Structure formats: structure tokens, C-alpha cells
Amino acid sequence: MTHPTALITGAGRRIGATITRQLWQQGYRVIIHCHNSTEAAAAIAQELNLQRADSARVLQADLNSSQQVSDLASNALSCWGRIDLLVNNASSFYPTPIDQSTDQQWDDLINSNLKAAYFLAAKLSPSLRQQQGNIINIVDIHAQRALPGYPIYSIAKAGLQMMTLALAKELAPEVRVNGVSPGPILWPEQEAEISAAEQQAILNKTLLKRIGRPEDIAQTVLFLASQNFITGQIIAVDGGKSLYSH
């Protein structure tokens, strides 16, 4: 049997790496996209290839570059000649207070969260149609309710949510397009790092009163990839945070 092929963006670390491993365990050949996490991506590919020969490849690309996004699509198709599943997981996340935000921040957040996802979908759509495949976008519960201090990020994710709905119409009936909206799964790093008190405040506004796991997102991706009569839907995996009333 020919193994289906998945391209997962931002797959070297964190949630993307977990999605990659889960898809691989279900028999997918995986194309691990990364930007800066090349060593981590290479380590995952080596581990997976030792267990199943030629089942994982790594492609590096800066999603801020239109040319590199185009090359990523072409190189992904060159790996095994087909794409059955595109998981748009890559994302930039950091605060942009409106009185301090810059053009560069706008471009970076829009490109990584929205523009690259759209053009990867567009360029891979012929193969996805041929394989009757899937696109799964990792959205965010803040696509619906803006995160204070993060206006550009919230705008970008809102765009990705609408892109999910729009492409479900554009690519029907051959390709199904769905989304997963994480709530508190992994605490943010670097510029977006938050204090223990801030973390607790978030959990207090989450119905299940705990943080989720990357596996919760990956299992939802697997569910959507395997369900042949679901398209244009976005599933919140957030412990009930989006239901919390202020």
C-alpha cells in the first residue's frame, strides 16, 4: 500500500512535532517543515527513518519569503510525488501593543500565520484534489475573541479561520478543509513568556481548570484527517476556555 504523505509546517518543535509523530504512527510519510529548528527537525526525521526507512524528510523555509513558500510547495511535492494532507501549524506569537506595533511585526505575523498557509494550500491544491486530500489549519480560540495586547496576532488568526471556511468552499468536493483551535496547551516562550500568576489566571478561566497537551491537538488533527464527511469546521480544543463568561 502506498503511504499517504503529509506536510506539516512548523514541525520541528512543540505541537508541530507531536502532530508529526502521531501522523507517522498512523502510517503517513511526513515532511517536516522548519525555519530555525533545523537540528530538532533533523533529529525527529532520523528517529523516524530508523524505524521505517524513507518515511520522513525535512524541508527548511522562511515563511516570510514568498519565493521560499513557493519552493517549499514544489520541494514537498518532489519528496514522494504527492501531498495528501497539509497541516498549517507554523505560527509566530508575540505581543504587539497598538501604540508600539510596526510594519515588520505586521508582515511577520500575517505571513507566518495566514499568507504562507494560503499560498501553500493554493500551490498544493492540484495534488490535494487528485488525492482527495485534506487541509487542516491550526487556528486559535483568539481568532474569535481577541487577545488583549496581541491585536496583529488575533487579526492573523481570524484570517486563518475565514480562510478555512473559504477554502472548504473553493476546494470542494475533492478536498476537505478544517481547523483546530487550541486553547492553553503549551505556555508561550521568549517574547511572549508569561508569569506563573498569569498562567494561573488563564487556568482559572478554563472550565477544566488545567492546561491541555500537544497530544490533544494531534489527536484532533488525526480525527479530522480520517473523517470523510466533515469540512469547513473548526474544533476548539481548549478545555472550555472559549465558553468562560467574564
Closest CA to 13 of 76, 91, 85: 91
User: Are 12 and 47 spatial neighbours (Cβ–Cβ below 8 Å)?
Assistant: no
Tell me the three-class secondary structure of 35-86, residue by residue. CCCHHHHHHHHHHHHHHCCCCEEEEECCCCCHHHHHHHHHHHHHHHCCCCEE
Closest CA to 181 of 205, 199, 200, 164: 164
Query: Is 153 noted as a catalytic residue in this protein?
Result: yes
User: Are 150 and 106 spatial neighbours (Cβ–Cβ below 8 Å)?
Assistant: no
Q: Which residue among the candidates 28, 118, 150, 153 is catalytic per the annotation?
A: 153
- 95 vs 169: CA distance, rounded Å: 33
DSSP string, 136-160: EEE--GGGTSPPTT-HHHHHHHHHH
- 223 vs 156: CA distance, rounded Å: 25
- 2 vs 17: CA distance, rounded Å: 23
Q: The C-alpha cell of 74 is what?
A: 514544489
| DSSP E strand stretches across 92-144 | 134-138
The residues carrying an active-site annotation are 153
